[in-house]
Structure 1
Amino acid sequence: KERRVVLDDDGVPLAITKQAQSESQRLIEDFMIAANVAAASTLIRANKPCVFRVHDMPDPEKTEGLRQLASAVGAKLARGQVLRPHHFNSILGHVRDTDDETMVNEAVLRSQSKAVYSIENIGHFGLSLQQYAHFTSPIRRYADLLVHRELIDVAVANGSKTSNGDNSGRKIGNSDLAGLAESCTHISETESRAAGAERRTIDRFAAALFASETGNVVSGVIAGLTGAGAFVSLKDGVADGFLPIRSLPDDYYMLSDSGMEMTGRHNGVRFRVGDKMDVLVVEVTPVNGGILLAYVDGGGTAKKGGGPHRGKSGKTGKPGKKGKAASSTASKTRKSRKQRRRS
């Protein structure tokens, strides 16, 4: 679900909505994927360069925490096993409609590589496709326009004429390939910057709308954990607030290797991604999209576990020690979560 901002005639935010994808939209998306695959396949068969949309396999270091988490929830990923898309689907299916679903979904997203543009075809891991390109939106994505240009050359070479009657086509040299590779790097970087600008803009609108909640207790869901505290999704993901570790019950908190669970060393209080909890809205700063939260005693489903999970690389934090890092850490983790969702 993508966030959409509703503005009045003066540009003042009225609401932020999240609309689920309909069956018809999913059907159209399937057709678009098929068209993208056909475009890439056509250029490969014609031995033409192509701007591929590639998604590499997950980094083994990123999947190690997921293996531990999968084992904890009853799903198995053998150590050293080369992971394929169906392995991730199996894990997600195992926890569907359970209390662990949100936590495992987030862990799977964190383990994925980032999709980029490249003239080297390594396939698209997330879609489980051997060749894939962006073709369907040439009016808004430069990658699609580049693919259209190459397809026009293929059509011309097969006897079709362009609008000016030319059917000579064009030759592709090494300098052209180098320029295309440079374009791939450039548009991958600008895509990331544009996504960041979009995210920050919506965060500011969300904070402006949330300003009226200052001083109120609201319900949320833990969306992420770091050594500095917890990210809490508010109003079904319309806004994200940050709960600094200094606000939690007094203890020394340890972050699990998977990053999905944080447990107090002495009190055993446990916070997990996906847990519901009540929080106090302490401060809202629309200019940077920040929403600062405070822990509400006994709120949500923070549970007492059987003691902390001590991993080899478990991170720790003490109340009051890492609070100053909360704002920058929150921003970086929100950015990472958003980028992983883009394919």
Structure 2
Amino acid sequence: MSDTRHISVLGPEAVEMLSPRAGGVYVDATFGAGGYSRMILAAEGTRVIAIDRDSTAITGGADLVASSAGRLTLVEDRFSNLADVCVAHGMPLVDGVVMDVGVSSMQLDQAERGFSFRFDGPLDMRMSQHGPSAADVVAKASEADLANIIYIFGEERHSRAVARAIVAARKEAEITTTKQLVEIVSKVVWAKPGEIHPATRTFQALRIFVNEELDELHTALAAAEQVLKPGGRLSVVSFHSLEDRIVKTFIAERSKTGGGSRHLPEVAQATPRFKIVNKRPIVASDDETKANPRARSAKLRGAERTDAQAQDASPLPGWPTLASVMRGG
């Protein structure tokens, strides 16, 4: 089996979209195994501020930091805080931001992290070691909250049946392992041959919810707008429809010039904050998909910052939040 841990999906395309140049400063907002950072640093004279909330990724990047001759700064933090990170390191404005959204292959492949239904391990799923785990959510959330979480973040049609099954099972025994959850879900969700595993959507939902991934993405995109210089590039790789919808909507809204009207000429036209780089998402080639199955669902979107003043982040959608669910409503 080939080792895909260090393969950045759509890596060359995502970095090419940044157009790295000598003297440029770039943010790798989701460092992981450092694939994007390595490619950016390959352009002579570039500097990279890299961020990851996973302490194992920070530890794993020590060698790259040591070999970068001071050109790579690696920070343990959420990528939603990228604007504050840039300011803290003396770079309030940068030339490019790249994001690889979602869980990494390294995390999925570590049974002890509890991300994957393929391995038996603790039902954890946290990208960092802080906050409630998936086991905590499964134990605490009401049946209604569980159903909403699984439906909204997992797009699971059988979310109510899964929630009922979880609540019934936890009355008998604590649900603390991935294997337990897989067995519970598999009793109420059936998959035909060739379809995805019955637990796929439930695991996706809990992972996204525990790590507040979509909230993080909303905030990180607005933070990127704050730090990008005019002409700076935003390059985002997403892996499922929920993420891609957020990225697509953000870029479209910040690129449109609506606001004026022939009926109300005094209303000023909105100034676009970005220019769209690629109207259609870039997807992985057949060769990349064969070498790295994770690339199958990947989509790359890019935008270029204008000189218009940055806007604040839009309000988050009204979906369940980790804080509200854990305090019981």
TM-score, reference length from structure 2: 0.28
Compute the TM-score of the two structures, normalised by the length of structure 1.
0.27
Structure (1 or 2) with the larger CA radius of gyration: 1
The structure with the greater share of residues assigned to helix is: 2
Which protein has greater RCO, CA pairs closer than 8 Å, 6+ apart?
A: 2
| Larger strand proportion of the pair | 1
